[in-house]
Structure 1
Amino acid sequence: MSSSQASQTPDAQAPLLEIKNLQVGFRTTGGIVPAVRGASLTLRAGKTLAIVGESGSGKSTTAHAIINLLPGSGLITGGEILFEGRDLTTFTEREMEDIRGKLIGFVPQDPMSNLNPVWSIGFQVEEAIKANGIAKGRKEIKKHAITVLKEAGLADADKRLRQFPHQFSGGMRQRVLIGMGLSSRPKLLIADEPTSALDVTVQRTILDNLEKLTRETGTALLFITHDLGLAAERAEQLVVMYKGQIVESGPSREILANPIHPYTQRLVAAAPSLASRRIQSSVHKLTDLDYSATKVTEGLDLIETAESRAEAVAAAPAKAPAIVVDNLTKVYKIRGNKEPLTAVDDVSFAIERGTTTALVGESGSGKSTVAKMLLRLEDATAGKILIDGTDTAPLKGRELLALRRKMQPVFQDPYGSLDPLRNIGNTISEPLHTHRVGDAQSRRDRVHELLDQVSLPRTLSTRYPNELSGGQRQRVAIARALALKPDIVILDEAVSALDVLVQAQILQLLSDLQTELDLTYLFITHDLAVVRVIADNVCVMQRGKIVEKATTNEVFDNPRMDYTKELLNAIPGAGIALGV
């Protein structure tokens, strides 16, 4: 025992992963555009390191460079990536195949676009296990697939192997990818936003499992996140990236308690934390940020905005509800299962015009199914949906098109909801074309106006979805939803893929638009810190039912149900003091 430990001591002291002066660029017609500029970091075996930064700062590009999975136009232009002392930048493709999956696991950001829609979940997990040579024989492979999915938080994995990705919620699909990433018990697991699609309770379960794996097997974890509370709670080391460079690194608690770089200060100031109950965004645009600055202006206070709106709503005379959901039920028949699945069970709520209601709950609780029925993307098994007093069930043709003009969605998966063959400008203007609004010039002007509103440069209008980061794609989806200036917006995890700075800007934008245009929002989310800022009322869902329904302050300050208390207690970083 002691001799074995002694033989492992030198390896334990040497870094598992060491990146030195990494430079990554993307080939364009105008030359190579740098995406990562001289990044350096060190990760030891069994340790956890988090990379945080705004969308497009180079976080995911750095992670993809480690396992040589850069997009076609991407290339490493300089630096070293040392894994167990070997420089991965010199490896051939065949040599990298022996590293990927077996020694370095990877959990990608977009759960839907990384699962094949025509193959069952079981087949895809088993293929990954087979490819990495982890198990042999059909029975052993299937048994291992069930084990890794259960470890990732999918309790009924054995019953769900025959289902397809579209039959899983976003959180369930993310758990499948996490299970696949951990299936070979790798020495290093790279997780790109591993919990962005997960509710807080499942997020805690997943991260507890990852922490246990790190402790027991010595697996190191490199995870990319925009959630500073998560980074502070789960990672020993923190690396902050901005415009392709590492601007601050060190112990996570120290950085968050005393951020030195002005960009880090802004990230901390904008972090949605239940402990501080504040989300702040800067008065100045991010592009104006001066590296030499030493102090950050607090700027806009979304809590004050939300409270002033709540006071205005309370003082205003009661309005007719824009949305009424009455005894709504949705039952699915699952192939291979005799018993049907009741996804939504006798749900009732109403949303007054000009207010925001948040629908919260665990992944798979039925939140997104309610949204699909509101949008008439799914038909209800029983119950009624009234929009401005009109029953939507019998609407067809022109009447249904008119309904959809005043009720626009923002879906959970920012890549799956964007056409990969349309550029960003055409994507945002598509609703204007469909509903024959304006001429070509006015549509272009409207696209530019929307890009400004969601903090995207106008030059992106000629780019395509695969050229954008996950957060940028989500902002495009929000811009498209706002194109027609709808009366009702249904937001399904609309800010889950966004870094905290852009999240604060989007929430402020949604609040401003609601005040200006008297918009009605149904805000579906698992991020309870965001709920506190954006919502007037909250409905808590569990297993298809609404178990608690009240104003936001009542739910947060005096939750009645144990399930609601559990959701609140699971918010990452809620008890950590973040200071600027």
Structure 2
Amino acid sequence: MDSTTGGERPLLEIKDLKVNFKTQDGEVTAVDGVNITLYRGQSLAIVGESGSGKSTTAHAIINLLPGSGYIAGGQILLDGQDLTTASKREMESIRGRKIGFVPQDPMSNLNPVWSIGFQVEEAIRANGIATGKKAVKARTVEVLKQAGLHDADRRLRQFPHQFSGGMRQRVLIGMGLAADPQLLIADEPTSALDVTVQRVILDHLESLTRELGTTLLFITHDLGLAAERAEQLVVMYKGKVVESGPSRAILENPQHPYTQRLVAAAPSLASRRIQATGSVHAAEAALGADAGAAAGETIDLLATAEARAETGGTAAVREPAIVVQDLTKVYKIRGSGDFTAVDDVSFQVERGTTTALVGESGSGKSTVAKMILALESITSGRVEVGGRDISNLTNSETFKLRSLMQPVFQDPYGSLNPLRNIGNTIGEPLQTHKVGDRSWRRERVFELLDQVALPRTLVGRYPNELSGGQRQRIAIARALALKPQIVVLDEAVSALDVLVQAQILRLLADLQAELELTYLFITHDLAVVRVIADNVCVMQRGRIVETATTDEVFDNPKEQYTRDLLEAIPGANLKLGA
């Protein structure tokens, strides 16, 4: 719908919104003077990194600010009604009926002890959509079918843990749209999902909102995703709107330095620029013309890809650091027989290079990583690390293997002990392997902090005092403590904002060049693969379906499954200008 014609009143108008939080150190302003206008039938995305104020703005609209947050100024007009002055009862009738909300993490927002059917029925009753047991149940089945669960009537009694991530997210979308609201707010609705599942969910959300005539407010940190899915874009930074307008126009010609950094840091857009120009150098030149002068970090990803392309082109054939041959893993499941998670997988990783193992959740890639790390037993086949078969190692031999090969996992907060300070966390492998004395270990910890570009003053801090990006750097520093030859990275950047992700990817590339590290990079995100990996192995249902260099996979994918993964990259269908 054209928002500029006919003097139409906006459906949502946010004027000079200010949101404060009360803390022990006084008041903190999280949203400062935000203005947003959204017309009926439009889709608008708010983009920014964690802490930019985008989710706080969304929660302010429905008056569900967390903790001590409150609206300190401004107006939020929904179809002319000021929600900032609405009573508690008025807001309860507006939520669900006029404004639907799809939260970020379905596992945190669905009660694990209640069945899916009960939770949807509860939402339907609360919103007054239907009354009477039969009518409520009929509407519940209808809502879930509308959300894409075709066997909904059979699955009403199942619990959240019995649903996949994509199915749980569909349930939340169904609940958000149950009352046919005028406005749907979707807060990072697919950030925890694989790219292919993400695509299905967003296609579905788009078609549903179009059919129902619902206006969509979408929140994400991925600019490529936002530009592909929304007509209008609002970029937030430190609580303020720094740029807004038509999404394609902003993507093609970002004006604010922060927006330029977001465009440069999005792996999906870096990948598209390489694809469009056919060359990393040309892509970097094109981006540099827009944003190179704006900030030192803007071309991090393209510089990382360029370094990979140059070393890959000149490197001679190297000896393999990891050889995986006919690897199979079968799990015995009580009452269900055998389940083959990894089925006859073979590949090798050359020393000093990066091989990416990609595929959807459940494809078996993390199970392969665990067997290579000797964290999971091998059913059949063999794994050689540094020319040594690790299938039947003794405990002492496995202990020695740890100094040769180290992991970095997806969730840095979950893999760091919250009771140990940073100095002890990084130094733990040195202590465990009895390397050096106390003063030597302390110097080594300082050296590692320098290597991952963190200040030495962090040694006395704890994980909860650090940002997500800092915690992941600590996890990388700990992995490097014993000077390993091989690092296995299991979804090591998937939980991070695009700007932090770009910094970590560049750090990994620099460390590889400096220390001649070999990386096995496990991910579901092919856009990241484009800028970090030399070779790619694509996994589907426990098997490797395609193996080639990164450029071959992107330029000439052989398998339909690989083409589907490439097509599902956010922003894959965007036409980027030079």
Normalized against structure 2, the TM-score is what?
Answer: 0.79
Letter in 2 for 1:239: V
Partner in structure 1 of residue 354 of structure 2: 356
Encode CA deviations 1:473-509: one digit per residue, 9 max, x unaligned. 2552353243230443333333334343332222111
In the other structure, the counterpart of 2:490 is 492
In the alignment, what sits opposite 2:319? 319
Matched, 1:517 2:515: yes
Partner of 1:307: 309
Matches within 5 A, 1:207-222: 207-222=202-217
Q: Quick one: which amino acid aligns to residue 100 of structure 2?
A: G
Between the aligned partners of 2:528 and 2:557, the Cα distance in structure 1 is 17
Q: How does 1:27-66 map to 2 (within 5 A)?
A: 27-66=22-61
Distance 1:563 1:531 in 2: 16
Matching residue of 2:567: 569
With over 3 angstroms needed to count, the CA separation of the structure-2 counterparts of 1:420 and 1:383, relative to structure 1, is same
Paired with 1:426 and 1:452, the residues of 2 have a C-alpha distance of 17
For 2:261 and 2:430, the matched residues in 1 are separated by: 36
CA 1:424 to 1:95, structure 2 compared with 1: closer, same or farther past 3 Å?
Answer: farther
Q: Secondary structure at the match of 1:564?
A: helix
Among 336, 344, 349, the alignment partner of 2:342 is 344
Aligned residues of 1:334 and 1:341 also touching (Cα < 8 A): no
Q: Secondary structure at the match of 2:479?
A: coil
> What's the offset of the Cα at 1:158?
7.1
Question: Retained in 1: the 8 A contact 2:166–2:201?
Answer: no
In structure 2, what is the equivalent of residue 333 of structure 1?
333
CA-CA distance at 1:172 after TM superposition: 5.5
In structure 2, how many angstroms separate the alpha carbons of the residues matched to 1:152 and 1:451? 49
Residue range with higher mean Cα deviation, 87-96 or 418-427: 418-427
Bigger drift between 428-437 and 236-245 goes to 428-437
Q: Which residue of the other structure, out of 240, 246, 260, is the alignment partner of 2:241? A: 246
Deviates more, 1:41-50 or 1:197-206: 197-206
Change (3 A) 1:410 1:297: closer
Provide the C-alpha distance between the structure 2 equivalents of 1:455 and 1:151, rounded to a whole number of angstroms: 49
Checking the alignment, whether the CA contact within 8 Å between 1:262 and 1:296 is kept in structure 2 is no
Q: What residue is the counterpart of 1:502 in the other structure?
A: 500
Matched-pair identity in %? 64
Alignment of 1:64-143 (within 5 A): 64-91=59-86, 95-115=90-110, 128=123, 132=127
> Is 1:195 paired with 2:190?
yes
Query: Which moves more between the two structures, 542-551 or 443-452?
Result: 443-452
1:232 partnered with 2:234: no
1:483 is paired with a residue whose SS is: helix
Change in Cα spacing, 1:196 to 1:323, as seen in structure 2 (3 Å) is farther
Q: Deviations over 1:349-407 (max 9, x none)?
A: 22233222222223433334434444555555554444445555656766555545654
- Number of residue pairs matched by the alignment: 556
Q: Deviations over 1:230-258 (max 9, x none)?
A: 22221111011112211111111111222
Secondary structure of 1:24's partner? Answer: strand
Instruction: Report if aligned partners of 2:537, 2:547 keep a CA contact under 8 Å in 1.
Output: yes
Would you say the 8 A contact 1:171–1:364 is kept in 2? no
Partner residue, 2:527: 529
> Is the radius of gyration larger for structure 1 or structure 2?
2
Task: Provide the rounded CA distance (Å) in 1 between the counterparts of 2:330 and 2:118.
Answer: 28
Segment of structure 1 superposing worse, 480-489 or 168-177? 168-177
Write the distance in 2 (CA, Å) between the matches of 1:142 and 1:85: 34
Structure 1 partner of 2:277:
none
**CA-atom RMSD in angstroms:** 4.4
SS in 2 for 1:276: helix
SS at match of 1:209: helix
Local SS of the residue matching 2:273:
coil
Deviates most, 138-147 or 498-507: 138-147
Are the counterparts in 2 of residues 172 and 364 from structure 1 also a CA contact under 8 Å?
no
Q: Give the direction of change, closer, same or farther, for the CA distance of 1:52–1:459 in structure 2 (3 Å limit).
A: farther
Aligned letter for 2:307?
T
CA distance in 2, matches of 1:111, 1:415: 19
Q: Which segments of 5 or more consecutive residues in structure 1 lack a partner in the other structure?
A: 1-9
Amino acid at match of 2:479: L
Preserved contact between residue 237 and residue 250 of structure 1 (Cα < 8 Å):
yes
For 2:134 and 2:223, how far apart are their aligned partners in 1? 42
Amino acid at match of 1:502: V
Cα distance per residue 1:77-126 (max 9 Å; x no partner): 32223333333334555654444444433333345544556666666556
Give the match's secondary structure for 1:532: helix
CA distance in 2, matches of 1:391, 1:162: 48
Q: Partners in 2 of 1:12 and 1:333 — Cα distance?
A: 64
Q: Which moved more, 1:557-566 or 1:494-503?
A: 494-503
Q: Distance in 1 between matches of 2:191 and 2:562?
A: 20
Alpha-carbon distance change, 79 to 546 in structure 1, aligned in 2, over 3 angstroms? same
**Any conservation in 2 of the 1:107–1:191 contact (CA below 8 Å)?**
yes
- Compared CA separation, residues 32 and 339, structure 1 to 2 (3 A): same
Residues 325, 384 of structure 1: 8 Å contact kept: yes
Change (3 A) 1:451 1:72: farther
State how far apart, in whole Å, the 2-side matches of 1:203 and 1:491 are: 22
Q: Aligned partner of 2:560: which letter?
A: D
Letter paired with 1:453: V
User: Is the contact made by 2:479 and 2:487 (CA closer than 8 Å) also made in structure 1?
Assistant: no
**Displacement, 1:460?**
11
Q: Give the Cα separation in 2 of the matches to 1:127 and 1:568.
A: 39
Match of 1:275 in 2: 272
Compute the displacement of 1:295 (Å).
8.5
Matching residue's letter, 2:350? E
CA distance in 1, matches of 2:154, 2:16: 47
